[in-house]
Amino acid sequence: MLPIRAPQVQDRREKGGGNVRDVISPVTEGVVASVAVASVEDTDAAVDRAHRAFQDWRAVSPGDRARLLRRFAAVVDDHNEELAQLEVRNSGHTIGNARWEAGNVRDVLDYYAGAPERLSGRQIPVAGGLDVTCYEPLGVVGVIVPWNFPMPIAGWGFAPALAAGNTVVLKPAELTPLTAIRLGELALEAGLPEGVLTVVPGKGSVVGERFVTHPLVRKVCFTGSTEVGKRIMAGCADQVKRVTLELGGKSANIVFADADLARAAAAAPGAVFDNAGQDCCARSRLLVQASAYDEFMGLLEQSVKAFRCEDPALESAQMGPLISAGRRASVASYVDDDAVLFRGTAPEGAGYWMPPTVLGARSTQDRHWREEIFGPVLSVLRFDDEADAIRMANDTEYGLSGSIWTRDLGRGIRVARGVEAGNLSVNSNSSVRYWTPFGGVKQSGLGRELGPDAVAAFCEVKNIYFSTEA
Residues that bind ligand NAD (CB under 6 A): 144-149, 153, 171, 173-174, 204-205, 208-209, 223-225, 228, 231-232, 246-249, 280, 372, 374, 400, 440, 444-445
Smallest distance, Å, CB 32 to ligand NAD? Answer: 18
Over the Cα atoms of the chain, what is R_g?
23
CB of 204 or CB of 269, closer to ligand NAD: 204
Q: How far is the CB of 14 from ligand NAD (least distance, A)?
A: 24
Asked if residue 21 lies in contact with residue 207, where contact means CB atoms within 8 angstroms, the answer is no
Comparing CB distances to ligand NAD, the nearer of 260 and 371 is 371
Helix (H, G, I), strand (E, B) or coil at 441: coil
Give 60 or 432: the residue with its C-beta nearer to ligand NAD. Answer: 432
SS3 assignment, position 142: strand
Longest dimension (CA), the chain: 84
Nearer to ligand NAD, 19 or 291 (CB): 19
The answer to whether residues 261 and 288 touch, using CB atoms and an 8 Å cutoff, is no
Minimum CB–partner distance for residue 434 and ligand NAD (Å): 13
Q: How far is the CB of 250 from ligand NAD (least distance, A)?
A: 9
CB 210 → ligand NAD: shortest distance, Å? 8
Minimum CB separation of residue 407 from ligand NAD in Å reads 30
Residues with Cβ within 8 Å of 145's Cβ and at least 6 positions away in sequence, in order, are: 153, 154, 157, 170, 171, 172, 173, 180, 223, 224
Q: Which is nearer to ligand NAD, 146 or 155 (CB)?
A: 146
Nearest to 354 by CA among 336, 331, 373, 337: 331
For the bound state, the minimum distance from the C-beta of residue 331 to ligand NAD, rounded and expressed in Å, comes to 12
Nearer to ligand NAD, 386 or 449 (CB): 449
Of 195, 136, 199, 197, the closest CA to residue 173 belongs to 199
What does each C-alpha distance from 131 to 137, 169, 466, 469 come to in angstroms? 20, 34, 6, 13
What is the smallest separation between the CB atom of 65 and ligand NAD, expressed in angstroms? Answer: 26
User: Which residues are within 8 A (CB) of 133 and not within 5 positions of it... i.e. 6 or more apart?
Assistant: 121, 122, 124, 461, 462, 463, 464
Active site residues: 246
* Contact between 49 and 193 (Cβ < 8 Å): no
What is the 8-class DSSP label of residue 130?
Answer: E
Residues with Cβ < 8 Å from 318, sequence gap 6 or more? Answer: 94, 269, 270, 273, 274, 307, 308, 309
**Which helix or strand (DSSP H or E) is residue 119 part of?**
none
Q: Where are the beta strands (DSSP E) in 138-212?
A: 140-144, 167-171, 197-199
Residues 6+ positions from 232 with CB-CB distance below 8 Å = 144, 208, 212, 220, 222, 243, 245
Tally of helices (H runs) and strands (E runs) in the chain:
15, 18
Q: Which is nearer to ligand NAD, 148 or 396 (CB)?
A: 148
Residue 178 or 280: which CB sits closer to ligand NAD? 280
